Amino acid sequence: MSNWLLWIVQGLLALSFLTAGVMKSVRPLEQLKQSMAWVGRVPPMLVRFIGICELLGAIGLVLPLATGILPGLTVVAASGLALIMIFAAIFHARQGEFREIGLNVILLLLALVVAIGRLPGAHF
């Protein structure tokens, strides 16, 4: 996959997780419950923790590679976000929220594309 295409995927993924991470980190939980029913079924600190992880992951998708400082962290960030999506899909499946899993799978696949595509020497 070409470098510019990976950058596009990284940018879109970062934007998605940045938006979700900020919302889960700072929005009042009552507001979040209106669009994300699961928020009312987990401890509030878990919602905030997930949001902060998504926010840091979004930054990690772009900043290390863009600055040239520890570019390997991009692979770590993408892998971490993929792991979050695996857990999210499992959670939604156990809750019977099968319609929610589609977005988790799409974000998981995009995160895996970035993680694999940014491995040293990767060419696919």
Q: Quick: pLDDT tens for 63-116.
A: 999 999 999 999 999 999 999 999 999 999 999 999 999 999 999 999 999 999
Q: Quick: pLDDT tens for 24-37.
A: 999 999 999 999 99
Which sequence spans correspond to the domains of the chain? Answer: 3-117
How far is 28 from 23, CA to CA, in rounded Å?
A: 9
How far is 14 from 83, CA to CA, in rounded Å?
A: 15
Neighbours of 95 (CB within 10 A): 12
Structure tokens at 113: 């594309």
Average pLDDT over every residue of 2-18: 96
Phi then psi for residue 97, to 5 deg, are -95, 65
- The reported pLDDT for the residue numbered 118 is 95
Angle at 88 between CA 9 and CA 81, to 5 degrees: 35
